[in-house]
């Protein structure tokens, strides 16, 4: 099947005081029609910047897409001018943000905001737009939609607002929905409702979803494929079943081990040591080396490429042939170097 979205070698950087800090560095992935790709990572991994780059919502002039291609239906979005990209936003690609309070306009009614998208992109009359907007509210499971249509965002609960965001995002029946932490600000019972809703909508409209989250549970629930990001790089990329059955990258393994599980209680969690360094502190070598338990000299010398192994794409030397021929003694040395480097990185924000 043809790819709906293809991101190739994307690099987005932020500039301050003449210094370049890459937030996303050489990221490539693809998304087919009706498919959900989960991008997982902790803060600073570049997952949100990736999604903002697709719609070119990066704050200028500090942020800039330095390199890469974003092919949407085989058309490179980065070659479009402002007017052309505005036609794509909201109509073909729309976005749901994490914080449902701040992403709705407080001085317009909910109905008004949904209608705006429709009149803007489809040129329908106000009357027609109102009928459609009320339909959308009903579709996303808002009770008494006629009443809600007239209300302002502050009159709605968090879950309700997120539904409005979803209604707005789906108003033009987009091909691609970017959901950036759509349930993070919500309570678990409401999160369950929203995930269920997204699943149903996907079934109904065959929408492709790019799901950005830090929650591996949500990914497992909602995604078909997973890309794990760490410090601006994709470190592991595979389908969701393979990922949870056999996570390969030490970072993915570490993440899975550090979450307390409901079904499988352990006396003590196994955390990943250290913390995510600031992107400005990136040095040569594997970006995870400073926190990795398997670190070897070669990890510090050179960054591994994204390698393909059966179902997986992995950025780790452990899965290369040279790993077997490595000098075992260098492991200890590698750990020291990495640790030293790590401690010099910490605490400079």
Which positions touch other proteins (CB under 8 A)?
42-43, 143, 157-160, 187-193, 195-196, 214-222, 241, 243-245, 254-263, 265-266, 268-273, 275-276, 291, 346-349
106: number of Cβ within 10 Å: 9
Minimal distance, residue 218 CB to other proteins, in Å:
5
Q: Which two tokens stand for residue 143?
A: 């009770």
Minimal distance, residue 207 CB to other proteins, in Å:
20
Of the pair 28, 242, the CB lying nearest other proteins is at 242
d(CA 210, CA 182): 11
d(CA 95, CA 91): 10
Minimal distance, residue 262 CB to other proteins, in Å:
5
Of the pair 159, 285, the CB lying nearest other proteins is at 159
d(CA 24, CA 11): 5
d(CA 304, CA 347): 26
Q: Strand 36-40 to strand 63-72: parallel, antiparallel, or no bridges (unpaired)?
A: unpaired
Minimal distance, residue 103 CB to other proteins, in Å:
19
Minimal distance, residue 277 CB to other proteins, in Å:
9
d(CA 22, CA 14): 6
Of the pair 26, 38, the CB lying nearest other proteins is at 38
Of the pair 129, 195, the CB lying nearest other proteins is at 195
Of the pair 44, 90, the CB lying nearest other proteins is at 44
Of the pair 218, 299, the CB lying nearest other proteins is at 218
18: number of Cβ within 10 Å: 5
| H-type alpha helices, 178-328 | 188-205, 216-222, 240-245, 250-258, 297-301, 321-324
Q: Which two tokens stand for residue 238?
A: 């595979």
Of the pair 1, 266, the CB lying nearest other proteins is at 266
| Of 35, 340, 56, 7, residue with least CA distance to 176 | 35
Minimal distance, residue 127 CB to other proteins, in Å:
30
Minimal distance, residue 129 CB to other proteins, in Å:
27
d(CA 265, CA 313): 30
């Amino acid at each position: 099947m043809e790819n709906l979205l293809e991101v190739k070698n994307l690099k987005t950087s932020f500039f301050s005081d003449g210094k370049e800090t890459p937030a996303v560095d050489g990221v490539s992935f693809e998304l087919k029609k009706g498919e959900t790709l989960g991008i997982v990572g902790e803060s600073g991994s570049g997952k949100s910047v990736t999604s903002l780059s697709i719609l070119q919502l990066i704050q200028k002039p500090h942020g800039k897409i330095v390199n890469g291609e974003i092919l949407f239906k085989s058309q490179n979005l980065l070659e479009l001018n402002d007017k052309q990209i505005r036609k794509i936003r909201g109509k073909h690609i729309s976005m749901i943000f994490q914080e449902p309070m701040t992403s709705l306009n407080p001085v317009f009614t909910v109905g008004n905001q949904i209608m705006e998208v429709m009149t803007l992109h489809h040129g329908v009359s106000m009357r027609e737009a109102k009928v459609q907007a009320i339909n959308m509210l009903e579709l996303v499971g808002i009770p008494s939609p006629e009443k809600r249509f007239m209300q302002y965002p502050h009159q709605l609960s968090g879950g309700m607002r997120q539904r409005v965001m979803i209604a707005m995002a789906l108003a033009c029946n987009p091909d691609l929905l970017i959901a950036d932490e759509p349930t993070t600000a919500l309570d678990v019972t409401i999160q369950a409702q929203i995930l269920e809703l997204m699943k149903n909508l996907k079934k109904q409209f065959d929408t492709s979803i790019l799901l950005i989250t830090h929650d591996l549970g949500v990914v497992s629930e909602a995604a078909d494929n997973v890309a794990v990001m760490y410090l601006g790089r994709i470190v592991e990329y595979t389908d969701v079943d393979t990922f949870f059955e056999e996570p390969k990258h030490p970072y993915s393994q570490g993440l899975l081990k550090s979450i307390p599980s409901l079904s499988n209680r352990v006396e003590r969690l196994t955390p990943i040591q250290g913390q995510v360094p600031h992107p400005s502190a990136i040095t040569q070598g594997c970006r995870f080396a400073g926190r990795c338990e398997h670190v070897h000299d070669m990890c510090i010398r050179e960054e591994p490429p994204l390698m393909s192994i059966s179902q997986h794409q992995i950025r780790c030397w452990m899965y290369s042939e040279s790993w077997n021929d490595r000098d075992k003694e260098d492991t200890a040395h590698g750990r020291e170097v990495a640790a030293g480097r790590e401690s010099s990185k910490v605490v400079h924000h």
